[in-house]
Structure 1
């Protein structure tokens, strides 16, 4: 009597393609920024505090996207290591904490029921959504900061423009050419302020575009990891006796039946080992 195979080898893929695409986006963005730097740098330096804060938020968004991909790499390595040598086991990543607790409680019998599978998948999906909410908030924050800089520039430019128009009243002995030159000087200064206002909007929108693209590639890797995790869990899931819609009284009976099934499998393993031992004795 052979011992049944109660485990399944995981088949997970590392997010190499996603990392390559994200690095390509950063390289292309850095190249475009370097080419446009001589023209836009004087405008950005006119409002260094707000533009510096926008750039800092952009860097946080980039780090958050790569952190999500790094969590996938750690999770894949942990699952492969745990399936290869379940007795030692390393520290589980935060994304797979419920799965690690359940599998370690099972010991060498790496099988779970359908209820546990659903709860694990829901927990992993919830943790993935929590990580995505951070990057989505950063994308929205970059757009908001860009619009804030634009409206701030407009709020400071429009009153000054009104003062420039009021100052066009001809003074005694002043010619029309002098009034017109004063108008040109005032408009030139105010239009320069408008450029400063739209510079922050340009920086915010460009940063949100890059972070949103990185978040898209990271989301593709997370979705693929979730599908592969679902396939692996389905291979180690034991069909239970309850469908999740039964009442509380039936759930207790289902737990008892599951415990009886566990004991029957343990007895089957004992009988298999006893049969092997008896075969060795007969051989001697």
Structure 2
């Protein structure tokens, strides 16, 4: 019993959930690269931003909120990994807040400590944790779509201004005026269409770029969440027991434990029998290959003997014909 407790304690100490440091570092490096590119292209970006400060400011503000949410989600996963590691080390002493992602585990703490978690309970807990993890990314998805929408809104807004301004310029041209006057009026009238084109292109630029940035951040968050969920699923798999399934079906705990032991022994026996069957099948396969090779060898020898007999028969026929010819020759001589 003491040895079993030492084994359980060792397994608990070795259970550690990976913190998403890799994804946090990737996110920070990516944001640093974006900031460096923005600093290099500062002049052009400021000019594009000033074509419509209101809409472009809304786009950049939404992007800033999305970046903060992505970093907050990664930091939350960092803390959740630490909390889950402490829970794996001592389920009964771990403190779980209802606002945490692993809050559904609080209802199965006793089963986790005794390694008697039912498979149905494990599936329910994993589903609840997955729902909580997805809730953290829904806002990021919405903000990514919002940035695309704002970029398209600015594009169509600018195109509408451009088309209406071009129409006004054409209407304002005087047919009887001199060429210099017409050219001056045309230059003055084209200022509004060009401003509309600047609005459309700048909004599209900021919207699409912001959507791409948030898409990369959401990818890092999704990968970190998937890794956490896979590790949690693997750990819960080590805490499930057959006895818990029987207990849930109304079978007494002692009988469930006995049946669980029997099933474990049966599984080990079946695994050993399967290994023996594989060894026997492999030996039979080698024997069949040897017999097949022997049969092929015997067939080749039989073919050689058959060819030799046929050749001998042909030689005997030739000798017989030669002897008959010699005999006929001696008979015909005087």
Q: TM-score range by the shorter chain?
A: 0.7 to 0.9
For 1:259 and 1:139, the matched residues in 2 are separated by 52
Contact preservation (8 Å) 2:96, 2:102 = no
Match of 2:198 in 1: 195
Contact preservation (8 Å) 1:114, 1:240 = no
For 2:70 and 2:252, the matched residues in 1 are separated by 41
Match of 1:279 in 2: none
Match of 1:19 in 2: 24
User: Greater RCO between the two (CA within 8 Å, min separation 6)?
Assistant: 1
Q: CA deviation at 1:64?
A: 1.6
Match of 1:143 in 2: 148
Q: CA RMSD in A?
A: 2.5
Point out where structure 1 has 5 or more consecutive residues left out of the alignment. 243-250, 265-284
Could you say if the C-alpha distance between residues 71 and 217 of structure 1 is closer, same or farther in structure 2, counting changes exceeding 3 Å?
Answer: same
Q: CA deviation at 1:3?
A: 6.7
For 1:71 and 1:22, the matched residues in 2 are separated by 15
Could you say if the C-alpha distance between residues 263 and 43 of structure 1 is closer, same or farther in structure 2, counting changes exceeding 3 Å?
Answer: same
Where do 1:82-97 residues align within 5 Å?
82-92=87-97, 93-97=99-103
Match of 1:248 in 2: none
Q: Which has the larger radius of gyration?
A: 2
* Larger helix proportion of the pair: 2
Q: CA deviation at 1:258?
A: 6.4
Could you say if the C-alpha distance between residues 91 and 135 of structure 1 is closer, same or farther in structure 2, counting changes exceeding 3 Å?
Answer: same
Aligned length: 253
Where do 1:35-54 residues align within 5 Å?
35-54=40-59
Match of 2:78 in 1: 73
Q: CA deviation at 1:110?
A: 4.7
Q: Does 1:62 align with 2:67?
A: yes
So what's the TM-score if we normalise by structure 2? 0.69
Q: CA deviation at 1:259?
A: 4.4
Where do 1:104-115 residues align within 5 Å?
105-106=110-111, 108-115=113-120
For 2:84 and 2:133, the matched residues in 1 are separated by 17
For 2:232 and 2:190, the matched residues in 1 are separated by 62
Could you say if the C-alpha distance between residues 71 and 205 of structure 1 is closer, same or farther in structure 2, counting changes exceeding 3 Å?
Answer: same
